[in-house]
Structure 1
C-alpha cells in the first residue's frame, strides 16, 4: 500500500459555525456494495435525490473495523469504524461501472446534531484519520465525525496507481534540480512518462472520473446515506476547493462549512504554486526566528542566515543521500518534503529542529519520517 502524508493536524476552530443549527437523523446500517447498490432496505434519506441515482442515495452502510482500510499507517483508533459507499464511476452513466469510496466514523458522544464530513486536502491525501480527530471538543460531542478517502485514493477502490514502490524510491533519489533548458526538457519528459504510466496502470476510464466534480457528487451521496438533510463540512487547503465546488453544485444542501486555508478557485496552477512557495518561505522565516532563540538551533542564532544554513545541510543530499535506519536513506527531495511538512504546524517545529540537527550529524531518520 502507498504511504500517504497527512498535511496538517486538525484544529477545530470555528466550532460555533459548525454547531449552529440542526441536521438529519441517525444513519442506519447494513448494505450491499458490489455493482449498483441494493436499495431494498434503504437508508433513511433526507433531502432531494437526483433522478436516476436513487439506488446510490438509498443504499445502507455496513460499518466494520477499519483494519483493512488503513493504507497510510495512521492509527485510526478503536472508536473509529469504516464502511464503503458505492457510487457511479461516471455520474452521466449511473447504470454503468461503479466504484467504492471509503469513509470512517466516530459517533457523537452526546446529543447528536448530525454528521460533519472532513477532508485534509492534497489533492491526493487520505482523510480516514480525521474521524479520530477533535476528541473532547464540542464537535465530538454533537457530531458524528466522518473522514473519507476521495475516489482513487487510499482505501477507496479502484486506487489510482502510477508507480511501483521501487519506482517511487528511484524517483525520490533523483531530484529535479537542473533548471537549464536541457534539465527542464528532461523533467517534462519524465512527467509525460509518468502520465503514460498512470493511464497504463490505472486506466483512462478511471482517470477521466477522479476529479473535483466527481468528488463533490460523491460527497452528496455520503451526506444522504448518513441521513443528513444538509451537509456540514470542514475542509483544509485543497479541501476548501472541494467545499466551494460542493456549495456551487448543491447550494440548497449546505448546512455549514469551515474552509481553512482557502484556495482561490480562479487562480491559475502556476500562480497557486508561486503563492504557496511564498507562504512556505514565510513559515520558514518564522521557524528560523523561533529556532534562533534555542540553544540547539541547527540554523544558528541569526535568522537572516537561516536559508544559507539550511542549504548547507540539504544541498549535499543532491549527490549523496544521508544514512537512515530505513535502508532507503534520506534523499534531497525527502529533506525538502519533510521540512515543508513540518512548516504546516508549529507543533512540528520541534521535530524539524531535531531533524536538521540529525542531518548535521549525517543522519536523516527524523526528516524521513516527516516526509
Structure 2
C-alpha cells in the first residue's frame, strides 16, 4: 500500500452513520484518500493477482518463546465510559526475536454482553485505516450494532500496534502537518513536483526521527498475530470479528495465518490482498470517481445544486472549481486558506457516506460565495484535525503500515508521469491526485516486509465478505476477489453507495450478517441487498 489514505473508514462516517472509523487505505497521507484498489486497472491486474503466492499459515502450536504472552492476565478497570472496561496487554515488538525489554503495550476496551440470551463470546471489532482506533470504534459498535448482537457478544476493541493508545507512531508537529496537507497533489510545474517529493521526504524523516523503533514492526501480519494473543487472553477458542475497510485486510490476514482459529469473521468493505500498491491506488481512484458521479447525479436533481442542473454542467463546474482553488485559495474564517489540495480532501471525505452529500452541497454553495470554511471542515474531518489544530496519529500510522505492507507503488516522479494516463482513464477528476499520492512510500526509511498475496485460509470456517457496489474507498471488485480467494468465503453484496454496509441502516444486510454472527448461518453466496 501507499501512504495515501484512501482505504479508511472516516470518522465522519462514524459520527453520521455509526459505521466505522477509518477504513482502508493504500494511498498517501498527502491527500484525502488512500489505501489499497476496479475498472481499467482491474483487468490489468488480473493476471498478476492470479500469479501471487498464497499467505502460508503459521504452525498451530504456540512457540515456546511466545507462551508468556499467551499466558499473561488481563487486568480490567473502569474506563470512565459507561459500561466499558479497559486493560492493556503485552506483545513482542519482533515476533521472530521476542525480548521482554522491547515489548509493546497495547490498549484494549470491552463492553460485556448485555443480554438477553446466552453469551456467545467476544466480538473483536476494527474500523480500518490503517490507523483507526478500535478502542474508540468499540464504543460506536456497542451503541449502534444491532441489539441482538450486542446482547450476546462482548464488544471488544484493541488499538493495533502503532495506533492511538497502543504505542502510537508520531511523525510531524501539528504545524508541520498543516503544511503537509496543503501541498498540491496535481502539479503543473517542476517546482510543484519538487515540493511533493520534498514533502514526502520530510514526512518520512519525521517518522524515522520520532518513531524509529516501531517502523519495522507495524505490519498487518504482526497486528493479526497480536489479535491471536488477545483472543486467547479473552478465553475464546476461536476469533469472532467484524472488520471494516482496512479492518477486512486485518481479519483476512488473521484467517490466513490461523485458519483453525477462525470463528465468525465479517469482512466489510473488503480489500484485495493480491493487488500491488500501484493497482490499488489506481483502482481506488476509480472507486472515488464512481462515488463522485453518484453524488453529481443526486445533486443535479436538487433545486439550487451548486454545481448546476445537468451532469455536463457539474462536470465543468468541478474542473473549474478546483482549478480556481489552485490559483485563488478561498478565505475560511481562520488563518488557513482553502487551496486545491484541501478542497480535494474535503470533496473526498464526503464520498465516504451518502449522508454527507447534503453537507458537501452546502459546503460548495458556501464556496461559491467565497467562503471555504465548510469545505475546510470536511477536510479536517478527513485528516482527524481538531478545532485546536491538533492531529490524531491516524495519518502517521496509516503511512507506517501501508509502506511496510507493500513495496512502493512508484519510485520516482518519472514513474508517476508514466502511470498518469491510466490514472486519468480510471478517474478523470481525481486520477492525477491519486497518481502523485502513489509516490509517498518511495521515501520511506524502512523497506517493505510485505508483498501482494492471495489469502486462502484453507480449513477455516465460513467467512462472510461484504461488498458495496459503489463503495469509493474499497471498490466492489475487491470484495469479489477476496471472497473468491478465501476457501470458505461467501460474498454478500449491498447494491448502493457509501463505504461499508453492516450496521449502517440496511435491514437486508444487517439481517444476513446477524444470522451468521448469532446462528452461524451464512447468507447464500452472491446474495444481493438493495
TM-score calculated relative to the size of structure 2: 0.57
Provide the residue aligned with 2:256 in structure 1. Answer: 248
Q: 1:125 aligns with which of 132, 139, 142?
A: 132
Matches within 5 A, 1:92-107: 92-96=96-100, 97-107=102-112
Say if 2:56 is the partner of 1:56.
no
Provide the residue aligned with 1:150 in structure 2. Answer: 160
Matches within 5 A, 1:60-79: 60-66=73-79, 78-79=82-83
**Structure 1: segments with no counterpart, 5+ residues:** 13-46, 68-76
Mapped partners of 1:356, 1:238: distance in 2: 30
Mapped partners of 1:136, 1:240: distance in 2: 19
8 Å contact kept, 1:334–1:368 = yes
Mapped partners of 1:60, 1:325: distance in 2: 51
8 Å contact kept, 1:121–1:238 = yes
Say if 2:119 is the partner of 1:112.
yes
Q: 2:233 aligns with which of 225, 229, 247?
A: 225
8 Å contact kept, 1:321–1:332 = yes
Mapped partners of 2:87, 2:315: distance in 1: 46
> The residue matched to 2:304 in structure 1 has which SS?
coil
Say if 2:137 is the partner of 1:141.
no
**Structure 2: segments with no counterpart, 5+ residues:** 1-8, 21-59, 380-530
Mapped partners of 1:188, 1:126: distance in 2: 29
Say if 2:90 is the partner of 1:83.
no
Say if 2:292 is the partner of 1:287.
no
8 Å contact kept, 1:8–1:120 = no
Q: What's the C-alpha RMSD, in Å, of the aligned pairs?
A: 2.5
Structure 1 residues 369 and 255, CA, compared in 2 at 3 Å: closer, same or farther? same
Mapped partners of 2:307, 2:274: distance in 1: 38
Mapped partners of 2:108, 2:339: distance in 1: 34
Which deviations, in whole Å up to 9, do the C-alpha atoms of 1:325-354 show, x marking residues without a partner?
Answer: 454343432222222122111122121112
Provide the residue aligned with 1:264 in structure 2. Answer: 272
Number of residue equivalences: 323
Which deviations, in whole Å up to 9, do the C-alpha atoms of 1:53-112 show, x marking residues without a partner?
Answer: 222222222334546xxxxxxxxx533443322211111222340112222222221132
Provide the residue aligned with 2:321 in structure 1. Answer: 313
Say if 2:371 is the partner of 1:354.
no
8 Å contact kept, 1:232–1:255 = yes
> The residue matched to 2:315 in structure 1 has which SS?
helix
Mapped partners of 1:326, 1:107: distance in 2: 44
* More divergent stretch after superposition (319-328 vs 226-235): 319-328
Give the structure with the larger helix fraction.
2
8 Å contact kept, 1:6–1:126 = no
Structure 1 residues 369 and 58, CA, compared in 2 at 3 Å: closer, same or farther? farther
Mapped partners of 1:326, 1:64: distance in 2: 41
> The residue matched to 1:140 in structure 2 has which SS?
helix
8 Å contact kept, 1:80–1:131 = no
Choose between structure 1 and 2 for higher RCO, CA contacts under 8 A separated by at least 6 residues.
Answer: 2
Which deviations, in whole Å up to 9, do the C-alpha atoms of 1:161-211 show, x marking residues without a partner?
Answer: 1111010011223323215566445423432332222111111x3101011
